[in-house]
Chain A
């Protein structure tokens, strides 16, 4: 095929172009609406931050003593069913928050004088405990305690991670190693699956890698309950993934998305997306690792590798636990 034939072919591909119903005024209206919404969101964020800072700073400055303890629902209140993220409990020592220093050993606090609930200072070597807070709103800070720092954003990418550079040969070799590993490992993680066929790790296409490529990706096809589907494994090089866990999990993602911080300092983002009229359902688990690598395992209720219109299954054939097992597998990394 010559270059001229390609030119003709591309032009011929447009012969059934549908009529263009384009209204520039509507487009401008849409652009203005989106800009206004963005400005409103930014303004709301700034205002919320200002209120939170004022709520903490003003009583501290004027020296009003206050009870210390977590706000929000009581022990008997129902747990909200909203998607949630884990954020660390505040770790600021209480001595800094009240005028009267508290005893360092909480067991020595006299009944009636001690705060109702005492948030212990963080242990220096152990990770802080975490609370689950709704993602749909700002976490409610315990009254009298400085609101927790937004560590979910600040911790990604981890400090000190230098972006890695791999040659095509290195990527090819690593892809082959992971392909061999996945050929055995997938059957262990999804034991009921048959006809497991891991695809070649690559980039733009299966097996296609280039010098400096910052990720590897492969689909593993399988049959479960007589239906064909696949799991996508996507692995980014250290420092290459610029989307933070919270950015990956915005509050308005329906129907569910949550961020968990794990004890080793890594994050798990579990996100389920449905396609509405498309009937498509996609479940992804992304593991943001402490070394700056991100590994995502994605399950579909159809076969994303089929070159035909998808046949949708009622459910995604793999479970969250199975995707977590794949995403957190240390053997799958770059």
Chain B
């Protein structure tokens, strides 16, 4: 690869590493694995950089590669026992206002823990739609599926998520 390509890849990698790792974390729930997924994704992109770097939406291409990398990772037997955490950890953020802290705890643990219990397709749709703020059409392109599938997966995912959060909230308050 030419030096000029290397430079443009570095610029892309530095600019997207953090976002890719955050999306990966929401997919898998583990920062270490998220780091691995991000690095593997960037290595894959680098290998075909000369062909892809002129694409209109490199960010979405990177999301597609990340999604595939995560799904491939999940197929490995070692990754099957995903730790979703059956019980919510009893932690307190003493540095923050108690009310704000409580709200943040609810959001941080309840929502994400519930997300990790969703089937991977629904989880991916919700992350891409509501964290990466992609449109239905963009999400469909990233996931390589029909827009109708995105809509139905998002609706089903939200419904399941609501039920899971309600159940987990009930468990916490008991």
Which A residues lie at the B interface, using CB under 8 A?
1, 3, 5-18, 20, 22, 24-25, 27-28, 30-31, 34-35, 203-205, 208, 232, 273, 275, 278, 280, 282, 284, 298, 300, 302, 304-310
Q: Are B112 and A208 in contact (CB under 8 A)?
A: no
Cα of A12 to Cα of B108 in the assembled complex, Å: 5
Contact of B161 among A1, A24, A308 (CB under 8 A): A1
Contact of A7 among B83, B108, B131 (CB under 8 A): B131
10 closest A-B pairs by CB: A9-B111, A204-B119, A307-B86, A12-B107, A13-B112, A9-B107, A24-B10, A304-B81, A31-B46, A10-B131
Q: Which B108-144 residues have a C-beta within 8 angstroms of A?
A: 108, 110-112, 115, 118-122, 126-127, 130-131
A9, B110: Cβ atoms closer than 8 Å? yes
> CB distance A25 to B80 under 8 Å?
no
Which residue, B14, B26, B111, has most C-beta atoms of chain A within 10 A?
B111
Contact yes or no, B14 A24, CB < 8 A: yes
Could you write out 8 A-B pairs with CB less than 8 Å apart? A1-B111, A9-B110, A12-B108, A14-B25, A28-B6, A204-B120, A302-B81, A308-B86
Contacting residues, chain B, for A302 (C-beta < 8 A): 81
Q: Is the CB of A307 within 8 A of B158?
A: no
Tell me whether B43 is interfacial, beta carbon within 8 Å: yes
**Partner of A10 from B83, B118, B130 at Cβ < 8 Å:** B130
Query: Nearest Cβ distance between residue A166 and chain B, in whole angstroms?
Result: 18
Closest Cβ–Cβ distance, residue A23 to chain B (whole Å): 10
B104 touches A204 (CB 8 A): no
How far is B118's CA from A204's CA once the two chains are assembled, in angstroms? Answer: 9
Q: Does B2 contact A (CB under 8 A)?
A: no
Residues of the A chain whose Cβ atoms lie less than 8 Å from the Cβ of B42: 27
B119 touches A13 (CB 8 A): no
Q: How far is the CA of A13 from the CA of B116 in the complex (A)?
A: 12
Q: A9-B107, A13-B26, A24-B13 are in contact. Are A31 and B77 (CB under 8 A)?
A: no
Name the residue among A1, A5, A278 with the largest chain B CB count within 10 angstroms.
A1
Neighbouring B residues of A308 by C-beta, 8 Å: 83, 85-86
Size bracket, chain B contacts: 35 or more
Q: Which A residues are in CB contact (< 8 Å) with B59?
A: none
Nearest CB in chain B: distance from A285 CB, A: 12
Name the segment of B16-24, B50-58, B60-68 touching the other chain.
Answer: B16-24
CA distance A308 to B89 in the complex (A): 12
Q: Pick from B17, B104, B131: contact of A22, CB below 8 A.
A: B17
Tell me if A24 and B9 are in contact (CB < 8 A). Answer: yes
Q: Besides the contacts A30-B39, A304-B81, what 5 more A-B pairs have beta carbons closer than 8 Å?
A: A1-B111, A10-B126, A17-B31, A232-B80, A275-B78
Q: How far is the CA of A17 from the CA of B130 in the complex (A)?
A: 19
Q: Is the CB of B6 within 8 A of A14?
A: no
Pick the residue among A20, A30, A305 that contacts B17 (CB under 8 A).
Answer: A20
**Closest-CB distance, A256 to chain B (whole angstroms):** 15
